[in-house]
A and B are shown apart, each in its own frame.
Chain A
Amino acid sequence: MDALEIARWQFGITTVYHFMMVPLTIGLGLVVAVIQTAWYRTGKPEYLRMTKFWGKLFLINFIMGVATGIVQEFQFGMAWSEYSRFVGDVFGAPLALEALLAFFVESTFLGLWIFGWKQLKPAIHLACLWVAVIGSALSAYFIIVANSWMQHPVGVEMVNGRPVMTDAWAVFTNNTALVAVPHTLFGALAVAGGFLLGIAWYHLWRRRHDGVDTVGADGRAIPGEDARIPGRDRADYSVWIRSLRIGAVVAMISFAGTAVTGDLQGKLMFQQQPMKMAAAEAACHDGTGFSVLSVGNVGSKNCDDVVAVIEVPGILSFLAKGDFTTEVKGVNSLLPEYKEKYGTNLPDNPIYGDRAGQEIQYVPVMEVTYWGFRMMIGFGGLAALAALVALWITRKGTVPESRWLMRLAVFGILAPFGANAAGWIFTEMGRQPFVVAPNPDPSGIDQVFMFTAAAVSPGVSAGELIASLVALTAVYAVLLVVEVKLLVKYIRGGVVSAMPELAHAPADENEDRTPGDDGTGEARAADDVLAFAY
């Protein structure tokens, strides 16, 4: 493998990994903020418990997103210096603004939220969480503006062989970004929805299994208490049934959201990167049919071996254009167009190193685009369907005793993660061989593009890249195990693991302190230097 391949693997691995943590941070952050708001407004103890429990899991995950995020910003310069030089004038700005306007807000206000339970008045404490949540959504916006410019460059002109920003408004309102941002945010919420649903299901199951909750003759749940275990009272039952329902509703809404925004995105992508969409379909010939199953050597570059086994006529046209009859161009008719516009071989330029003169492969790896596209939709749809079924099953207030159903709900947590990863792998791999895809709009900047083959750092050796690939992958693997183990530990522990005061004090002492009783904020701060301590 040469440096380029290693650098691509590294970027792929570190980014997919980072984006395991990020959607949970964005989605769960919003859910916790809504729940804490409910507590602030109603003072109900179950909302405080939910805030503390889900907030604890949120923080265990949040830190991993922070830690792996720094790698993302550094590796553009480290491994992709030619890319950084080429795009810096336009691509650097959203990254800098992300740090300045989003990361600062997120980190600072989350620190206030974690440690400020007693130093801050309840309203301000709650506001800090909201500000942090808005910060994380803003960071998603900025990074997607940057990514969308790679998918669809706008707002620039070429000066001395490099794109130079001439229209910031166009860059920051790139239509690619405007549909990708809500798509990504809904995708993040879907992750949070599945997370709540699976974990709440487990706890309801556990309560039934241990005989705490029972079911009456009419099938309705009868919540009970287990005095031997702290925190397993009736409020605990409310925590889980509410969490389950919130999770299921969030999962369904967010799937609907990803479907609508995904459809808009697909229609744009058929114009902006027709080859990506043809490859998503393994559509070799022009046509209208959506492939449900294609077999054969879909990785083949000449398309000859691909056979569509099941095809639904008209659907592809609907995805691309909104009607059922327009012919959508397949790989075989797009290929000559790309070759004519962007050349058949990599130019003889030192920027390409040994790769200069190689034939350009305009068709992305079709196994990846075809299955990535289907896994994204499949996992997402499955999770939403499961959420609907879960709401039906639990309509009488609890879950069945079936251990297998509980396991299904718990492992179902992974489905939205899979959908997110598959979507990103599809869109990034589908953009190849370009790192900056040409913009085919008749806007006069279709010469702004860059082949991935030109983007890697010329001065960095394959050995250095292998060292970092191995080191980062190994560290990430270890930390994933640690994170999951901690999450499992705190999940199994239930609310009391995030609220030890439930075990130490009479259950009500802490919860009686309603969120509205301000005016004592100062006095309280004097007693509690550390409301929370590491």
Chain B
Amino acid sequence: MELLPTIWFIAIAVLWTGYLFLEGFDLGVGMLMKIFARNDTERRVLLNTVGPVWDGNEVWLLTAGGATFAAFPLWYASLFSALYLPLLVVLLALIFRAVAFEYRGKVDTDSWRSRWDWAIALGSFFAAFGVGAALALTTTGLPLNANGDREGGPMAWFSGYALLGGAAVVGFSLLHALAFLALKTDGDVRHRARRWFVRLLPVLLLPIAAWALAIQFMDGKPWTWAAVVLAVGAAATAWLLARKGSEGRAFLALGAFLVLGTTAIFGAVFPVVLPSTLDSAFDLTISNASSSDYTLGLMSIVAAVGLPLVIAYQAWTYWVFRRRVSAAHIPEAHSFLPAVAAKAFTIKG
């Protein structure tokens, strides 16, 4: 077993877990804009709980992608090219979502806001679904040939696992967002989020549990089975804590569920990073897909310094914006006051 590729396998698992933990709730909040919030003020409460942080959260995805490129170029190349269309959907979803966050409040009309609300909700949904599908497929396999290229056309990646993985991340994100809103808001939104959390937890965690179990039956090791059991325990704890009204602890327990779940999944497939469903001889593993030890060593040094730093200043951001947001805090949408008439560019004036 090679040390550096193993370290980077773990690093990439950590980056994906970080991504799902952080962007999980802002993707979920995005989806809840359309199914949870009852009016514009509530939508703005939701939006402003993630306002200062969602962009920083999304960088975890970029870093996971970039680190995969640097540490396992063959994994990156095969996975991303094989999943061309689903990743295109993810990209479009992320583009609309990002622009919508920033532009939604920039014009004071209902139709403008409504359009961007849909962009946030659908963008969040498709981004979560697509990322989930991609992650599931990298654990269950794609029809790759000896060169690592997809055989069988543009939709050859499609399988039940794609749907399962998509549902898993969508479900988890929704639940995580409910826990986050219960923790970050006040008033009606807070209480409703907690009620929804308690009621929906079993349903929303079902697909991610099914994915984790399916992987265990395929490649499970004793210690990854143990992680699954602990994850179930964490989910039960989160449920009990939420019912009791301990919002902060429920949020952390759900976080523990995520960490244990991804550990169980990534741990089970190790050392394979992307199996081929055509021939296991074509499987990409940490040995045949990785960069040289020199590159991995360099990256290890930088990551050992950089990643704790990132975690520290992102944690500080959450501390700065730690106060609960409620409807009372939402300022009125100011109507726009143009200082000058809009006629400067007409020909006569």
Residues of A participating in the B interface, judged by any CB pair closer than 8 Å: 59-60, 62-64, 66-71, 73-74, 76-79, 81-82, 84-85, 87-93, 95-101, 103-105, 107-112, 114-116, 119-120, 159, 164-166, 168, 202-203, 205-206, 209-210, 229-232, 236, 350, 403, 406-407, 457-461, 463-464, 467-468, 471-472, 475, 479, 482, 486, 489-490, 492-497, 500, 503-504, 525, 529-530, 533-534
Q: Give how many A-B residue pairs fall within 8 Å (CB-CB).
A: 301
Structural contact, A530 and B81, CB atoms closer than 8 A: no
Bound Cα distance A108, B336 (Å): 28
For residue B217, CB closer than 8 A to chain A, the reply is no
State the 7 A-B residue pairs at the shortest beta-carbon distance, nearest first.
A88-B73, A77-B80, A92-B70, A459-B149, A494-B339, A96-B66, A81-B77
Structural contact, B105 and A534, CB atoms closer than 8 A: yes
In the complex, residue of chain B having the shortest beta-carbon distance to the beta carbon of A504: B334
Q: Name the interface residues of B58-105: CB closer than 8 Å to any CB of A.
A: 58-59, 61-63, 65-67, 69-74, 76-85, 87-88, 91-92, 94-96, 98-99, 101-105
With A78-B84, A458-B149 as contacts: A103 and B62 at CB distance below 8 Å = yes
B113-149 vs A, CB cutoff 8 Å, 1 = contact: the mask equals 0000000000000000000000000000000010111
Structural contact, B99 and A67, CB atoms closer than 8 A: yes
Structural contact, A403 and B95, CB atoms closer than 8 A: no
Choose among B62, B92, B349 the residue that contacts A99 (Cβ–Cβ < 8 A). B62
Structural contact, A475 and B73, CB atoms closer than 8 A: no
* Interface of B: prevailing SS: helix
Choose among B73, B303, B349 the residue that contacts A89 (Cβ–Cβ < 8 A). B73
Structural contact, B154 and A530, CB atoms closer than 8 A: no
- Choose the segment among B171-179, B218-226, B248-256, B294-302 that binds chain A (4+ C-beta atoms closer than 8 Å): B294-302
Chain B proximity of A61: nearest CB distance (Å): 10
In the complex, residue of chain A having the shortest beta-carbon distance to the beta carbon of B330: A533
- Choose the segment among B235-243, B258-266, B305-313 that binds chain A (4+ C-beta atoms closer than 8 Å): B305-313
Chain B proximity of A230: nearest CB distance (Å): 6
Bound Cα distance A165, B51 (Å): 40
Structural contact, B81 and A165, CB atoms closer than 8 A: no
Neighbouring B residues of A407 by C-beta, 8 Å: 345
Chain B proximity of A106: nearest CB distance (Å): 8
With A59-B102, A63-B99, A74-B80 as contacts: A96 and B67 at CB distance below 8 Å = yes
Structural contact, B77 and A85, CB atoms closer than 8 A: yes
Structural contact, B154 and A463, CB atoms closer than 8 A: yes
With A67-B94, A88-B76, A99-B59 as contacts: A530 and B337 at CB distance below 8 Å = no
Inter-chain pairs besides A460-B81, A479-B95, 11 sampled, C-beta below 8 Å: A66-B58, A70-B91, A78-B81, A95-B70, A96-B66, A107-B55, A107-B59, A108-B56, A486-B107, A493-B338, A496-B337
With A66-B98, A230-B337, A529-B325 as contacts: A104 and B295 at CB distance below 8 Å = no
In the complex, residue of chain B having the shortest beta-carbon distance to the beta carbon of A403: B349
Q: Name the interface residues of B16-59: CB closer than 8 Å to any CB of A.
A: 44, 47-48, 51-56, 58-59
- Choose the segment among B206-214, B271-279, B314-322 that binds chain A (4+ C-beta atoms closer than 8 Å): B314-322
Bound Cα distance A232, B337 (Å): 12
Structural contact, A100 and B63, CB atoms closer than 8 A: yes
- 23 pairs across A/B with beta carbons < 8 Å? A63-B103, A64-B99, A70-B91, A77-B81, A78-B87, A81-B78, A81-B149, A88-B77, A92-B69, A97-B299, A100-B310, A111-B53, A116-B320, A119-B320, A350-B147, A407-B345, A458-B147, A459-B149, A475-B95, A496-B339, A503-B337, A533-B51, A533-B330
Chain B proximity of A11: nearest CB distance (Å): 14
Chain A proximity of B155: nearest CB distance (Å): 10
Neighbouring B residues of A525 by C-beta, 8 Å: 323
Structural contact, A108 and B73, CB atoms closer than 8 A: no
Neighbouring B residues of A97 by C-beta, 8 Å: 66, 299, 302, 306
For residue B244, CB closer than 8 A to chain A, the reply is no
In the complex, residue of chain B having the shortest beta-carbon distance to the beta carbon of A166: B294
Structural contact, B331 and A534, CB atoms closer than 8 A: no
For residue B280, CB closer than 8 A to chain A, the reply is no
Bound Cα distance A504, B332 (Å): 12
With A104-B310, A112-B320, A494-B338 as contacts: A533 and B44 at CB distance below 8 Å = yes
Structural contact, A500 and B337, CB atoms closer than 8 A: yes
Most buried by B among A74, A120, A229: A74
Chain A proximity of B101: nearest CB distance (Å): 7
Bound Cα distance A114, B298 (Å): 34
Chain A proximity of B336: nearest CB distance (Å): 6
In the complex, residue of chain B having the shortest beta-carbon distance to the beta carbon of A232: B339
With A104-B59, A168-B298, A534-B51 as contacts: A495 and B339 at CB distance below 8 Å = yes
Structural contact, A101 and B84, CB atoms closer than 8 A: no
Neighbouring A residues of B194 by C-beta, 8 Å: none
Neighbouring A residues of B331 by C-beta, 8 Å: 530, 533
Choose among B56, B71, B337, B349 the residue that contacts A104 (Cβ–Cβ < 8 A). B56
For residue B150, CB closer than 8 A to chain A, the reply is yes
Structural contact, B81 and A457, CB atoms closer than 8 A: yes
Structural contact, B81 and A99, CB atoms closer than 8 A: no
Structural contact, B52 and A116, CB atoms closer than 8 A: yes
For residue B106, CB closer than 8 A to chain A, the reply is yes
For residue B340, CB closer than 8 A to chain A, the reply is yes
